[in-house]
Structure 1
Amino acid sequence: MTELCIDFGGTAVKIGVLDTGSPLATTQIPVDRRDPLGRAEIAARELIAGTRPEAIGVALPGVVDRRAGTLVRAHDKYTSLAGVDVRAWAEKSFGAPAAIENDARAALVGETVHGVAAGARDAVLMTIGTGIGTAAMMDGIVLRGATDHAGILGGHVTVDVDAGPCNCGNVGCAESLASTWALRTHPDLRTHPDLRALVEAAGHDRGARDVLDRFVRVWGAALVTLCHAYDPAVAIVSGGVLAAREAIVPGLTAHLERHMWSSAHRPQVVVPDRPDLSVLRGLAVIARKDLDA
């Protein structure tokens, strides 16, 4: 079964054609803020080369309404998609049934079905990048909640009540304190354009190393909250910055060991081997399940 999967990320759109979860072809384009759907449609048509997929999966970096097929809210991201029926766009553009999902949830499905946590039934995912995305699975069920908000707001837990406001309306959120967005908005951190640059600088600059150490503690605090809430057997940590996993994972693991509830299980912390495929693989599974249903 062939699935066309489109992942609208913070800085790029990843597009893939998959056969029952196995990638056949992929491409990536920059985000077009003015017309993200139009540009993605052109790139996807070039990729599928006239063939017709049997199912379509679309991931968006925010709260989605799966029933309505729309993006509910993604603060400062894809504002042009507010109120747009993305599922209807996908079905009309490519002539197949479409499923819409939050990107972190799709990544969690991808990693627990085809990836580094394959077979896990109790898992959480935290992806670190422009923001901090999270998702949770309990007893094999991906959590969505009454209004599709469950599990995905782990980047907006308060880790510092005295910090400034986040663009979500809360204060001291993990995302507002330790993400690429934080680097861009905090005057004393702007010397580092992104998280990869921060990690690279930390290898030879004491100031950058202190910033990275604080970021790891913030990520650890958010991960502790996820683990306390969902009691996972495995914690998946992803994002481009995890290419330098040796600079991050030991600190996260140590933070969990020190700060989780005394009797709570310390989950295994794992990093995807192909994080670029996590969302696409998960979308293929979700789209196929929706079609079968």
Structure 2
Amino acid sequence: MTTEAGKTIGVDVGGTKIAAGVVDASGRVLSKVRYPSAGPPETLLANVLRAVREARRGHEDVLGLCLSVPGTVVTERSAVAFSPNLPTIEGIPLKERLEGEIGLPMTVENDANAAAWGEFRFGVGRSARHLVFVTLGTGIGAGIIVDGRLLRGAQGAGGELGHTTVQAEGGPRCACGNAGCFEALASGTAIGRFGGEAAAERPESALGRLAARRRIRGEDVTELAGTGDPVARSVLARAGRWLGVGLANAINTFNPEVVAVGGGAAASGEMLLAPAREEIARRAISPARDLARVMAATLGPDSGLIGAAALAIDPASGEPFLGGTEPVAPSCVSMASNIST
């Protein structure tokens, strides 16, 4: 967004919540509200409208809106073709159903693409021209920026790194129906599954004692690892290595300056990123390996909302974005020299 662009609205629809907010030209969130995304399609659409109207109150001068949604967005129909983590939204012509009610020009974007654009414009990738963003939550979403352009593919379905295969034989089943997907091995859901397996093997551990009371979640593993629990830390290291396998593929394919890792599972920080970097050092090839910096995303849970707001009127639909600060220099530190030992 340029300074002249003024305010826009970003709406970030997730598996459990709808976050809507007014964002100014510098990426500052001026208002934000949350509504649940659970329920049938009509309830979902009604909650989107309520969220937009509430967020917009006192900001009537907004210029446009972008709705970011989970799943494969077919650009020409502004509809989600496939959303394993929010099937309720599939097939709804979102622009057709909502734009007239909202009364603003509206675009629809994949949620990970929106979050990637937020980090590219205002977060960890603001000095880069080439960025790979992955968000680790229930699944793995990804957005790719190539030479200042958001990569969408021929139908708007590009950039689905979470559903690339990283374990072809014997891999765990993914929500998409395939087996061995990146998402099935490095997401928050995968961390929870690995934690349950470790708890069964080590019932005397903190994870084992917790598993005796309830099912292990990914956030449980992160919390216990933060207290120094060695079993929980080994679980994060296992997921981190799979994360590194998937990111090495992305680095070899897209040659980014920055790889940004966000989402709830990324709260484990270096306990996850350090083993990922070690795997990247083994699997990615030079010179792409030596340029790419793997970093934690900086916008947190607002990345999708901020990125969506920027996409409401940004030139990401085809023209390269030429703003930002100076590009990342080719002499940035290589992965091999960043490995924690």
TM over 0.5, shorter chain: yes
Higher strand share: 1
What residue is the counterpart of 2:152 in the other structure? Answer: 144
Please state whether the residue corresponding to 1:270 is helix, strand or coil.
strand
Partners of 2:173 and 2:143 in 1: how far apart? 23
Superposed, which structure 2 residues align to 1:203-282 within 5 Å?
203-266=227-290, 267-282=292-307
What residue is the counterpart of 2:308 in the other structure? Answer: 283
1:26-75 deviation line (CA, Å, top 9, x unaligned): 12233223222212222322222265432011001111012211111111
Q: Note the C-alpha offset of 1:128.
A: 0.4
CA RMSD in angstroms comes to: 2.4
The answer to whether the aligner puts 1:201 opposite 2:224 as a matched pair is: yes
Partners of 2:191 and 2:267 in 1: how far apart? 19
The answer to whether the aligner puts 1:38 opposite 2:42 as a matched pair is: no
Identical pairs, percent:
31
Please state whether the residue corresponding to 1:248 is helix, strand or coil.
helix
Q: Which stretch of the first structure deviates more once superposed, 84-93 or 42-51?
A: 42-51
Partners of 1:260 and 1:182 in 2: how far apart? 23
Partners of 2:317 and 2:189 in 1: how far apart? 39
Given candidates 8, 18, 27, the residue that maps to 1:13 is 18
Kept in 2: contact 1:9–1:60 (CA 8 A): yes
Kept in 1: contact 2:182–2:246 (CA 8 A): yes
Q: Note the C-alpha offset of 1:96.
A: 0.6
Q: Which stretch of the first structure deviates more once superposed, 44-53 or 179-188?
A: 179-188
Please state whether the residue corresponding to 1:250 is helix, strand or coil.
helix
The answer to whether the aligner puts 1:174 opposite 2:197 as a matched pair is: no
Q: Letter of the 2:243 partner, please give it.
A: W
What residue is the counterpart of 1:26 in the other structure? Answer: 32
1:130-149 deviation line (CA, Å, top 9, x unaligned): 10111111111211111222
- When residues 118 and 262 of structure 1 are mapped into structure 2, their CA distance, relative to the original with a 3 A threshold, is closer
1:98-138 deviation line (CA, Å, top 9, x unaligned): 01101111111111111111031111011101101111111
What residue is the counterpart of 2:79 in the other structure? Answer: 70
Superposed, which structure 2 residues align to 1:176-195 within 5 Å?
176-182=184-190, 188=197, 191=211, 193-195=216-218
Tell me, which stretches of 5 or more residues in structure 2 are unaligned?
1-5, 200-210, 319-341
Please state whether the residue corresponding to 1:118 is helix, strand or coil.
coil
Aligned residues: 291
- When residues 194 and 15 of structure 1 are mapped into structure 2, their CA distance, relative to the original with a 3 A threshold, is farther
Q: Letter of the 2:275 partner, please give it.
A: G
| Higher gyration radius (CA) | 2
What residue is the counterpart of 1:158 in the other structure? Answer: 165
TM-score by length of 2: 0.78
Q: Letter of the 1:156 partner, please give it.
A: H
Partners of 2:78 and 2:112 in 1: how far apart? 17
Tell me, which stretches of 5 or more residues in structure 1 are unaligned?
none
What residue is the counterpart of 2:9 in the other structure? Answer: 4
Partners of 1:189 and 1:70 in 2: how far apart? 40
> Runs of at least 4 residues of structure 1 off by over 6 A?
184-187, 290-293
TM-score by length of 1: 0.90
Q: Which stretch of the first structure deviates more once superposed, 188-197 or 80-89?
A: 188-197
